[in-house]
Structure 1
């Protein structure tokens, strides 16, 4: 069976089976030409368009596709960020940290052996 245009999987698809299933479900659940607000599929009688199976198929297509890559390069800081400089300064003065207490000097091991 030859591949048709709808069966060719784009390069961004990471899960081809899920993507193909979603394409087929989306093709089966089109709006009714006589009632545009309704789904034409017989399984969706009295369902408004887009029906739940079509919404699920659209979500499956999104999940089966690799997310868009960000543009490489460095992020730029805009001038808007400059107006918030110093915004998180404390309202009360911060007390100075206490001065470090000097620890008693330890005796070398040789001095301890002589004392014993």
Structure 2
């Protein structure tokens, strides 16, 4: 499967089972935060997946990368706003869902 086909498959899957969320970067005061909208799928962790670093109540987020235009790239400490609730990004995996050097989606651990 090509990168374009993989990206199209992610878009279709997230359009079907995901939701539009806000990625928020807090800027030094008094600047307003930088917000971007992106498609994501948010799930809880199964009890068998809870290992050191993952707490009960944490969530896994698959976030389509193409609309996340933050500079520097997405990082721990950035926020997600999901259904009005602000969640903290604890870890950012930008390797697992990369194909041919192209970042298709981020895999995040969020808390809050």
Global fold match (TM > 0.5): no
TM range (shorter): under 0.3
| More RCO (CA 8 Å, sep 6+) | 2
In the superposition, the TM-score normalised over structure 1's length comes to 0.20
More helix by share: 1
In the superposition, the TM-score normalised over structure 2's length comes to 0.21
Structure number with larger C-alpha Rg = 1
More strand by share: 2
